[in-house]
Amino acid sequence: MTSKPADNTDTLQPLVQLKDHNVALLFSNYLQSLGIKSQLKSSRDEGHVIYCPEDKILQAKTEFDAFILQPYADKYQQAAWDRGETVSLNADDFSLINNFKDSFLAHAGIVTLLIFTLCWLVFLGSELGWAQTIFNTLQFYPQLSMDALLTDPIRLIGPAFFHFSWLHIVFNTMWWWQLGGSVEKTLGKVTLINLLLISAIVSNVGQYLVSGSNFGGLSGVVYALVGFVWWFGYLAPDRGLSLAKPLVGFLLFWLVLGFADLLPVNMANTAHLLGLLSGCFLALFTVKVIGINDNK
């Protein structure tokens, strides 16, 4: 009788699948230089798959997103040298566009991609000269009333899809893709839709009550995702949905800077705070009240 050799990737989660061995080896070495356990497994059918622990998967994905844009950066080769290996890349080994496309689409589900695309279509339409028309369509109610809610319900969530600058939309949509994609892949599209709708309504209504209807952006929803992933990871760590403490600290610090009025742009601080709190509450509700069965 023979037994299959132990495969220690069983306790790890697949992070990314790459076509070229050198590229996969380079990034695997870099993860290990950061203290993230990483294992490269190759096969004829699957290509080269990098595995890492579930609790490090979000951090590793963030690192891969940076790596895919600058694979030739010195720090990646330095990590290989530190481990006593030399890995060389050339144009035949690495297709930046294809790998980025594969990584981008593989991480995000249909809801994540639809909202991402909608935000960018709205923004590009604004940049092409229709900013005021689009803003007037999506702007929160100038005066909130039951009649207004019934006749034009889109305005309740509409401001979330309108962004005022390139920095604004890049920051929000990339965090939406990263965190929203993780939520959708782990818990399903229904969970992400509920999170989007509830956090958009709560943050928009709160910001309206504080400063009126002249605001926009997905950041209230993004902060809800931060709160949700943060607390879900704390309450159900075995599900592999978590946010690294340094990232939580950075985003909370950014929130504090907004309230302290130390940033060069106007921030919808109330929307950010209420989004964060609604996300934390929804994580608690998901785990403790309705359970955490996948709802895809």
For residues 284 and 234, what is the distance between their CA atoms, to the nearest angstrom? 10
**107 included as an active-site residue:** no
- Please tell me which residue in 48, 107, 163, 272 is annotated as part of the active site: 272
For residues 87 and 227, what is the distance between their CA atoms, to the nearest angstrom? 39
For residues 170 and 295, what is the distance between their CA atoms, to the nearest angstrom? 29
**21 included as an active-site residue:** no
HSE at residue 172, side-chain half, CA atoms within 13 A, is 28
Note the pLDDT of residue 99. 53
Residue found by looking up tokens 């997103």 in the block: 65
Are the CB atoms for 203 and 221 separated by under 8 Å? yes
Note the pLDDT of residue 169. 93
For residues 267 and 182, what is the distance between their CA atoms, to the nearest angstrom? 26
For residues 197 and 58, what is the distance between their CA atoms, to the nearest angstrom? 24
Q: How confident is the model at residue 126 (pLDDT cuts 50, 70, 90)?
A: very high
For residues 274 and 147, what is the distance between their CA atoms, to the nearest angstrom? 25
Share of the chain above pLDDT 70, in %: 80
Are the CB atoms for 251 and 226 separated by under 8 Å? yes
Rounded to 10 degrees, the C-alpha dihedral 137/141/146/148 comes to -30
| Phi, psi (degrees; rounded to nearest 5) at 266 | -75, 130
| pLDDT mean over 58-70 | 80
Are the CB atoms for 33 and 82 separated by under 8 Å? yes
| pLDDT mean over 8-35 | 78
pLDDT in tens, 206-261: 999 998 999 999 999 999 999 999 999 889 888 878 888 888 888 888 788 777 66
pLDDT in tens, 76-119: 767 666 665 555 555 444 454 455 555 667 778 899 999 999 99
- Please tell me which residue in 182, 219, 242, 278 is annotated as part of the active site: 219
| Cα-only R_g, the chain | 21
Share of the chain above pLDDT 90, in %: 39
**Neighbour-count burial of 254, counting CB atoms closer than 10 A to its CB (0-12 exposed, 13-18 middle, 19+ buried):** middle
Terminal alpha carbon distance of the chain? 41
- Among 107, 240, 127, 233, which residue's Cα sits nearest to residue 175? 107
For residues 195 and 290, what is the distance between their CA atoms, to the nearest angstrom? 14
13 pLDDT above the threshold of 60: yes
7 pLDDT above the threshold of 60: no
- Among 222, 225, 206, 240, which residue's Cα sits nearest to residue 282? 225
Model pTM score:
0.66
Are the CB atoms for 139 and 215 separated by under 8 Å? no
Q: What is the mean pLDDT of the chain?
A: 82
- CA 214 → CA 142, 209, 217, distances in Å? 9, 11, 11
